[in-house]
Amino acid sequence: MDRQEILKRVDHTLLAQTATWQEIKEICDDAVTYNTASVCIPPSYVRQAAEYLGERMPVCTVIGFPNGYNTTGVKCFETADAVAGGAKEIDMVVNLGWVKEGRYDLVKDEIQQIKKACDGRLLKVIIETCLLTEAEKKELCRVVTESDAEYIKTSTGFSTGGATFEDVELMRKYTGADKMVKAAGGIKDFADAERFVELGADRLGTSRLVKIMKE
């Protein structure tokens, strides 16, 4: 697969706690140069990045990140604030405590409330696969399929592991055909990225591919 075709699927990401505006600006510039799908950044930089980029590149941000245990009201406020600041895509973390309790009704209701707060913007649901059993992964595939979110996403990249080939394969198998899959966390190189795409990933959350291009 051509590298440019892969880069078109990349959410070029910088979510480090210590990220500065100068670093955010640099990844915005790189995202434009290498024609990625979006730039994924902390909520506090959304407005500044959206004003800087204009229509050159969609801004994506994260909600309830990275632990997912904020209240639904807080997540909805975060989402509405990000949308008001210019975010075009929202990546939310599910409440994993509810998952462990089997409260998939609450998980789905929260997704629906956040989707409403997105006001038409894309919503990706991060399920943090490294913390789940196979049965929990399958149930979350069902929940996302039944929801109005557009994407199911593997990982935050801030827990015990990132995307695996097996998880992407499972998510593609058990999530509805009208939903998309995002692999994130630990994508090492273009060979890795191509394999994830072959297995069904529509988006890739990573910063490494652009760094490889720059080198």
C-alpha pair distances (Å), 80 with each of 24, 44, 48, 140: 21, 13, 16, 24
Dihedral sign, Cα of residue 84, residue 85, residue 90, residue 93: negative
Of 108, 124, 137, 182, which one is the catalytic site residue? 182
Q: Hey, what amino acid is at 210?
A: V
- What is the rounded distance in angstroms from the CA atom of residue 79 to the CA atom of residue 114? 7
- Cα dihedral value 134, 138, 139, 141, nearest 10: 140
| Cα distance from N-terminal residue to C-terminal residue, the chain | 20
| Residue 8 among the catalytic residues | no
At residue 208, the 3 state secondary structure works out as helix
Whether the CB-CB separation of 63 and 115 falls below 8 Å is answered with: no
DSSP H stretches of helix in the chain: 3-7, 21-33, 46-53, 72-85, 96-101, 104-117, 134-146, 165-174, 190-198, 208-214
| Residue 153 among the catalytic residues | yes
Of 153, 167, 179, 192, which one is the catalytic site residue? 153
- What is the rounded distance in angstroms from the CA atom of residue 139 to the CA atom of residue 92? 17
Of 11, 91, 167, 192, which one is the catalytic site residue? 91
| Residue 91 among the catalytic residues | yes
Query: Which residues belong to the active site?
Result: 91, 153, 182
